[in-house]
């Protein structure tokens, strides 16, 4: 009886390998790792947490995308969200003090489009007790530089003059503010161009009194920059998006003209917390119900080594949350 000989297609192994590479590339792009994995690998040699017994200074900043109306909350629910913070924050944290003798101060990045005088009056009272500060948050879409400038100038004036919020330049008295971009889309960085529209956003921010942007990191969003775990100055180009993709590290050389300071939080691969026991999860400094703070996470935040030259004992840790919702 004749036996048919099986013939193996010589292209089959290449096809399987190609499919595997394609699947791997899709996985990288899905988490925006294609943008920042190479810079992350280049940082491998510097990544380490402080050694046991090593004295360090922790500069911790918790940036709250504070949105009382999140999820379409009705006025009563939004009001209760603000009241809960104003009443419970001093009670829970009032006994604690930092090395300067100050209580923990929460940074409320309040969205311009959710402005309600009542809510800001309440937060201003909390800030006057030393428990926080208010900065500017903004969600916008298909905007222009002129439209953005108007929004920022108007909201800045309201916060400063009506509510006594925001900082002022010591020498000139000019109002200054910190900024977080809604939907992570700083400098028109979404591939589809949504939720911003302004390529030269850094210029508008700087010209309207912004002292620093605190949006990043944004991974796994496709808005994530190639530059990670850094304090740096970036400029922009009105003809191109993502001007903040690269920049000059603070302390490496003087601040370039027409640039803005960007303060990033930690961004790492967490091999101690793996999906399906294989793939490392992202550590991006987010605090929420499914991502509570822990000593293990603190170790990772320090390991990112967001620092400035000349002060190896200073560790900057910028975290973010959406704290208004229940």
Measured between alpha carbons, how far is 29 from 191 in angstroms, rounded to an integer?
Answer: 12
pLDDT tens per residue across span 155-210: 999 999 999 999 999 999 999 999 999 999 999 999 999 999 999 999 999 999 99
Could you tell me if 109 and 62 are in contact, meaning their C-beta atoms sit under 8 angstroms apart? no
Domain count, the chain: 1
CA distances from 125 to 105, 110, 115, 165, 177 (A): 13, 15, 16, 10, 18
Measured between alpha carbons, how far is 86 from 113 in angstroms, rounded to an integer?
Answer: 21
Could you tell me if 165 and 140 are in contact, meaning their C-beta atoms sit under 8 angstroms apart? no
Q: 183 lies in which domain range?
A: 40-321
Task: Name the pLDDT band for 25 (thresholds 50, 70, 90).
Answer: very low
Query: Which pLDDT belongs to residue 5?
Result: 46
Specify if 190 maps to a domain: yes
Q: In this structure, what CATH number is given to the domain that contains residue 236?
A: 3.20.110
pLDDT tens per residue across span 250-304: 999 999 999 999 999 999 999 999 988 888 999 999 999 999 999 999 999 999 9
Statement: residue 8 has pLDDT above 60: no
Specify if 64 maps to a domain: yes
Specify if 6 maps to a domain: no
């Amino acid at each position: 009886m004749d036996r048919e000989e099986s013939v193996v297609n010589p292209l089959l192994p290449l096809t399987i390998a190609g499919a595997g590479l394609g699947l791997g590339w899709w996985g990288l792009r899905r988490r925006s790792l294609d943008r920042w994995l190479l810079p992350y690998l280049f940082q491998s040699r510097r990544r380490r947490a402080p050694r046991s017994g090593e004295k360090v200074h922790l500069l911790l900043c918790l940036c709250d995308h504070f949105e009382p109306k999140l999820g379409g909350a009705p006025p009563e629910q939004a009001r209760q969200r603000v009241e809960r913070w104003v009443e419970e924050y001093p009670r829970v944290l009032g006994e604690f003090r930092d090395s300067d003798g100050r209580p923990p101060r929460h940074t409320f990045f309040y969205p311009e489009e959710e402005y309600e005088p009542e809510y800001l009056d309440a937060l201003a009272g909390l800030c006057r007790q030393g428990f926080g500060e208010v900065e500017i948050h903004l969600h916008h879409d298909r905007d222009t530089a002129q439209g953005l400038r108007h929004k920022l100038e108007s909201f800045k004036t309201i916060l400063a003059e009506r509510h006594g919020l925001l900082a002022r330049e010591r020498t000139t008295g000019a109002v200054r503010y910190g900024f977080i971009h809604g939907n992570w889309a700083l400098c028109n960085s979404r591939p589809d161009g949504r939720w911003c529209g302004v390529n030269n956003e850094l210029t508008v921010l700087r010209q309207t009194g912004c002292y620093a942007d605190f949006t990043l990191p944004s991974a796994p969003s496709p808005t994530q920059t190639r530059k990670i775990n850094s304090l740096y100055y970036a400029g922009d180009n009105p003809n191109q998006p993502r001007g903040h993709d690269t920049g000059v590290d603070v302390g490496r050389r003087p601040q370039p003209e027409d640039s803005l300071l960007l303060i990033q939080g930690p961004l790492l691969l967490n091999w101690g917390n793996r999906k399906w026991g294989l793939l490392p999860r992202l550590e991006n400094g987010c605090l929420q119900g499914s991502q509570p703070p822990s000593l293990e996470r603190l170790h990772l935040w320090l390991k990112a080594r967001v620092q400035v030259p000349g002060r190896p004992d200073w560790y900057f840790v910028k975290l973010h949350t959406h704290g208004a919702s229940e």
